[in-house]
Amino acid sequence: MKVRRAETAGFCMGVSLALQKLDTEVARQEGAIATFGPIIHNPQVLHHYENLGVRCLKDPGDAHKDERVIIRAHGIPHTVETTLHSHARDVVDATCPKVKRAQLGIARKLREGCTLLLFGEKDHPEVRGLMSYAGDDAFVFGEFDELKNYHFEAHKKYCVAAQTTQDRKVFTEIVDWLRERLGDNLPVLETICDATRERQEEAIALAREVDAMVVVGGYDSGNTRRLADVAKAQGCPTVHVETPEELDPELLKGAAVVGLTAGASTPKHIIDAMQKKLEAL
């Protein structure tokens, strides 16, 4: 089987920086280390750090006084960060710079009196973090129809932003619709990162030229799921798996050329292994 591998497949800048910070803390060997929440959404990477003694916190109050805590790449609510600082020995911020920029931009718009409309997955950790900077009136929606049913108030000034890994095409449609309703002066925070856009555009281009697509990455990874979604939207049979071992060759039966891409938190060695398996089919 011929494999066409996306050049953008694999770690993005934010993931690489977060793991570099965690690796630095592990290498220092100066006491206990924890992350608040999974550092990234990839089970194989998380298992690696668990074997190195890094524990994963769910409650900021569980941080120990002798422990250094690394904030996950997705960012966390600012109240959680405050609690961590009061409990842990030290706190290292490994929030993706693009997510941090979105947090600060949302906080700025709140100070300017804007009510935020946020396109994102309500239960995603990044979205929970972003919403913590947005004030009580902010509205988060995962589907366009949810926004269409939202009750706009004439006296409010609105702004719109998106989770950094959202579908840029859908976000553009949302912005156009909002501007028709609220006016062309609607403040738009450009929070979808370039890495997300580039990966989605390449996945779309590949899906239009191959017989099937394979997307590798964690099932909890929003950006990975959206890569699979945009590939499927091109009418291309698409398979999303976490590891090469999970791939059922029957799902690719009849495909001569397969496109291969991966989420922003998928390690290179897993992508390499998947390519090798596909080429052997």
Model pLDDT, residue 261: 98
Q: Is 56 annotated as a binding residue?
A: no
Q: Is 85 annotated as a binding residue?
A: no
Q: Is 78 annotated as a binding residue?
A: no
Q: Is 185 annotated as a binding residue?
A: no
Q: Is 223 annotated as a binding residue?
A: yes
Q: How far apart are CA 276 and CA 280, in angstroms?
A: 6
126 is annotated as an active-site residue:
yes
Going along the chain from its start, the domains and CATH numbers come out as 2-10+194-279 (3.40.1010.20), 20-95 (3.40.50.11270), 98-182 (3.40.1010.20)
Q: What is the pLDDT of residues 91-111, one digit of tens each?
A: 999 999 999 999 999 999 999
Q: Which of 126, 153, 190, 279 is catalytic?
A: 126
Residue 9: pLDDT band with limits 50, 70, 90 = very high
Neighbouring C-beta atoms of residue 104, cutoff 10 Å: 11
Residue 138: pLDDT band with limits 50, 70, 90 = very high
Model pLDDT, residue 73: 97
Q: What is the pLDDT of residues 67-96, one digit of tens each?
A: 999 999 999 999 999 999 999 999 999 999
Among 175, 176, 169, smallest CA distance to 203 is for 169
Report pTM. 0.89
At residue 238, the 3 state secondary structure works out as strand
Q: How far apart are CA 43 and CA 218, in angstroms?
A: 7
**What letter does residue 258 receive in the DSSP assignment?**
E
Residue 30: pLDDT band with limits 50, 70, 90 = confident
Decide if 72 contacts 39 (C-beta within 8 A): yes
Listed in sequence order, the DSSP H helices in 52-183 are: 78-87, 97-111, 125-131, 144-148, 168-182
Q: How far apart are CA 208 and CA 259, in angstroms?
A: 10
Q: What is the pLDDT of residues 185-222, one digit of tens each?
A: 999 999 999 898 999 999 999 999 999 999 999 998 98
Q: Is 236 annotated as a binding residue?
A: no
For the stretch 46-68, what's the b/e string if a residue is b when 16 or more beta carbons lie within 10 angstroms of its beta carbon? beebeeeebeebeebeebeeebb
